Amino acid sequence: METGRRFRFSVASAVNPGVNEPVLLTEGFVENIREAARMGYEGIEIHVQDPDAVDAEQIRRACQENHMNISGIATGLAYAKEGLCLIHEDERIRKKAVERLKRFADMAARLGTVLLIGRLKGDIPDTKNYTYYEQMLAEGLAEAAHYAASKGVWIMLEAINRYESNYMNRAKEIADFIKRYSIPATKVLMDVFHMNIEEASVTDALRDNFGELGYFHIADSNRMYPGAGHAPLKDILKTLLDYGYSGYVSLECLRIPDGRTAALEGIKYLKDKTRQ
């Protein structure tokens, strides 16, 4: 088994996020990039509501100057702040969600990164009509994914817990959905916080679905920084090492006691537990 670390660490960031958004660096984009680099992260994840309101060129330059990469652009703020959703009853809102994803894909292409989609898949209002909504999700996502693929951009579809989205909460369900509907250029985003709620075993789910894994969110069981809870993080990191994972492991957790401390404690733990 290969054990050298091929994956890179990144940290979630946003400008002026809500108190419970799981992002750690919360100044302007440029300052967040500098701070992540100073802390020893190899990438930074940016949470954005509307890509048209963001200066992507400034972000690109800041990355270049600080030898940093954007690990991914998270899209959930478009759901949290505007209610955009791929299975909304109102067709105009569904269309707006797809159009927004295309603009996100343009931004991702400019920054050489991927799109992270989780909350935009929304809640099924009537689970008796499950297939109807699943098909609706597949239709919207396929349109966005075809557009993204034409720009060379991949989508990472996240398995999020039942309290944030009431369907497809486990890694295998996301992987099966992508295959069943032949959604192009799309892989699975696994997040320890959600997996700890939904999976029988986080490490088994990771192993069983490793072939479909494209991006990984890390936090401890209580969504605090790694080392502050009881998730089996040592086993999880060992599995990622053993399987030769080569994507990003991105720290997405709560600002407890504060974002800076959590980001510093997190990178210390992650580097320590993956040192060869």
Q: Which is nearer to Mn ion, 38 or 162 (CB)?
A: 162
The one-letter amino acid at 276: Q
The verdict on 158 binding ligand LER (CB under 6 A) reads yes
Q: Which is nearer to Mn ion, 141 or 218 (CB)?
A: 218
Catalytic residue among 21, 45, 158, 164: 158
The verdict on 22 binding ligand LER (CB under 6 A) reads yes
252: closest CA among 244, 237, 261, 262? 262
Give me the 83-122 binding string for ligand LER, x by CB under 6 A, dash otherwise.
Answer: -----------------------------------x----
Footprint on residues 39-68 left by ligand LER (CB under 6 A)? none
The verdict on 217 binding ligand LER (CB under 6 A) reads yes
Q: CA 114, CA 125: separation in Å to the nearest integer? A: 29
Q: In the chain, which ranges are E strands?
A: 8-13, 43-47, 69-74, 115-117, 155-158, 186-191, 213-218, 248-251
The verdict on 217 binding Mn ion (CB under 5 A) reads yes
Footprint on residues 168-197 left by Mn ion (CB under 5 A)? 191
8 A C-beta contact, residue 49 and residue 79: no
252 is an active site residue: yes
Helix and strand element counts for the chain (H, E): 10, 8
> Among residues 191, 212, 220, 265, which is the contact residue for ligand LER, using CB under 6 A?
191
